[in-house]
Amino acid sequence: MDTNTYARISLDTLVRNYKAIKTLAAPKEVISVIKANAYGHGAVECAEALQKAGARIFAVSSIDEALELREAGINASILVLGYIEPARAIEAVANELSVVIFERGFAGEMDRAASKLGKMAKLELKVDTGMNRLGFKSGGIEAIKEISELGNCSLEGVFSHFASADDKAASSNDEQYRLFDSFITQVKSLGINPGYVHIDNSAGLINFSHSCVNAVRCGILLYGLPPSPGIELSVPVKPALGFYSKIAHIFNVKKGEGISYSHSYIASSDMKVATISAGYADGYVRAYSNKAEVFIKGQRAKSVGNICMDMFMADITGLKDIQVGDEVELFGPNISAWELSAHSGSIAYEVLCLISKRVRRVYE
- Residues known to be catalytic: 35, 261
Task: Let me know how many helices (H) and strands (E) the chain has, helices first.
Answer: 11, 18
- Tell me how far apart the alpha carbons of residues 206 and 129 are, in angstroms, rounded to a whole number: 20
- What does the DSSP 8-state code read for residue 280? T
Greatest pairwise CA separation for the chain in angstroms: 78
Phi (first) and psi of residue 251, to 5 degrees: -155, 170
Cβ contact 65:95 at 8 Å: no
Output the CA–CA distances (angstroms, integers) from residue 203 to 213, 258, 344, in the order listed. 15, 44, 22
8 A C-beta contact, residue 49 and residue 10: no
CA angle 152, 154, 159 (to 5 degrees): 140
Report whether the peptide linkage leading into residue 27 is cis, meaning its omega lies within 30 degrees of zero.
yes
